[in-house]
Amino acid sequence: MKAEIMAVGTELLLGDILNTNAQFLAQELANLGIEVYYQTVVGDNPKRLKDTIFHAFDRADLIITTGGLGPTEDDLTKETAAEYFGEKLVLDERALGRIKKYFDRTGRTMTQNNVKQAMVPENNCTVLYNDNGTAPGIIMEKNGKMIVMLPGPPKETIPMFRNQVKPYLVKKQEFTFVSRILRVAGVGESAMEDRVKDIIDAQTNPTIAPYAKDGEAILRITAKAKDEAEANELIDPVAELLKERLGNAVYAEGETDMETVVAEMLLERKLTVAVAESCTGGMIASRLVEYPGISAALLEGCVTYSNDAKMHRLGVKAETLEKYTAVSEETAREMAEGIAKTSGADIGIATTGIAGPDGGSEEKPVGLVYIGLSYKGKTEVQEHHFVGKRDKIRERATYTALDWLRRAMLDEE
């Protein structure tokens, strides 16, 4: 099955919004093993929309559209598709009832225009009822051609695709493709690839693809099978083999992020932590606070940006700052010990570094960051050299500090 992804909306042509739906649908179709040869964006213009849909059906079996299902006269996706298939639109009472209920629930007033949203093709049509908005989606299918019309807002598009369209398409496919992601921290993409190259080369189903995303190394394992259960059976032993080889470097599967992994580990182990941040400036604390319920583990954080704050909040010694400067192994050590001691936490983490763009020197260049970890009374310091702009250096330092905390908890076991 060859597919085409089509977004309908003048706001995309003006650049007012970013077409994230295209990426979402592209990934989903790739996972289903459905080939996509083209993506198109067309405005809310009757002639051009018609040309685009008709032209797309010359080269594809399946078109997935987003947008153009709204209540205004401009919204014509459904009308144009019905024209292609030679169907007329009729009122769907169930869709209308749901639209009315949606307006009641959100306390807004339904207009006559919204009735248009409840019109659906009379035949060869599956209505996709919308739990997150007013416009129902539509699947039309006839003579080996299929169009799936989804609403434009991602909060409506994504659940409608996942819950209703995906199962529909899976049934049509002889094979399904299932992917699993392993997230790797503290090892670069090429170093990771080197370590598992023999495993990658030996595999055909599932395949293993290494790549880098937002500075993180990732392994994607993709299996082709007749159903999801069979695919997972193929993936499981390969995932285990990779995890065994990479050890602690694999920190999560799927979409879990580093702060979630660290927060859950802290809570499971009933460990408390406190953070003293200079160059990261509150970012480590802020990431941890993103996890609901972290209050049981995170006692406090100190953004000790000035030397004075390092001394009076954490007890860093004046002579340490004078002799070694604020960005030094010694200061990082005293900060980590100081925050653990003054907060009473099991673990103290500290960062001090030069995030740039100014303030670097030959001896201490921009990107130099010392991370201190005081773990139940034992303190160590790591020296790192991060590259990139100020925000990237701070993000890398935050990520690396959280990863070290994760590894320290694992090492203790």
Minimum Å distance from CB 290 to a second copy?
6
- Residues 373/405, Cβ–Cβ less than 8 Å: yes
Q: Which is nearer to a second copy, 93 or 255 (CB)?
A: 255
Q: Footprint of a second copy on residues 329-348 (CB under 8 A)?
A: 342-344
75 contacts a second copy (rule: CB under 8 A): no
Among 89, 127, 158, 289, interactor with a second copy by CB under 8 A: 289
Q: Which is nearer to a second copy, 125 or 178 (CB)?
A: 178
Minimum Å distance from CB 174 to a second copy?
20
Q: Measure the CA–CA gap between 176 and 170, rounded to whole angstroms.
A: 7
153 contacts a second copy (rule: CB under 8 A): no
Q: Footprint of a second copy on residues 354-383 (CB under 8 A)?
A: 355-358
390 contacts a second copy (rule: CB under 8 A): yes
Among 86, 123, 202, 211, interactor with a second copy by CB under 8 A: 211
Minimum Å distance from CB 36 to a second copy?
5
Among 150, 181, 261, 284, interactor with a second copy by CB under 8 A: 284
52 contacts a second copy (rule: CB under 8 A): yes
Question: How many amino acids of this chain bind a second copy (CB under 8 A)?
Answer: 71
136 contacts a second copy (rule: CB under 8 A): no
Q: Which range binds a second copy by CB under 8 A, 36-44, 186-194, 236-244, 263-271?
A: 36-44
Q: Footprint of a second copy on residues 4-23 (CB under 8 A)?
A: 12-20, 22-23
> Partners of 250 in the beta sheet?
184
Q: Footprint of a second copy on residues 225-254 (CB under 8 A)?
A: none
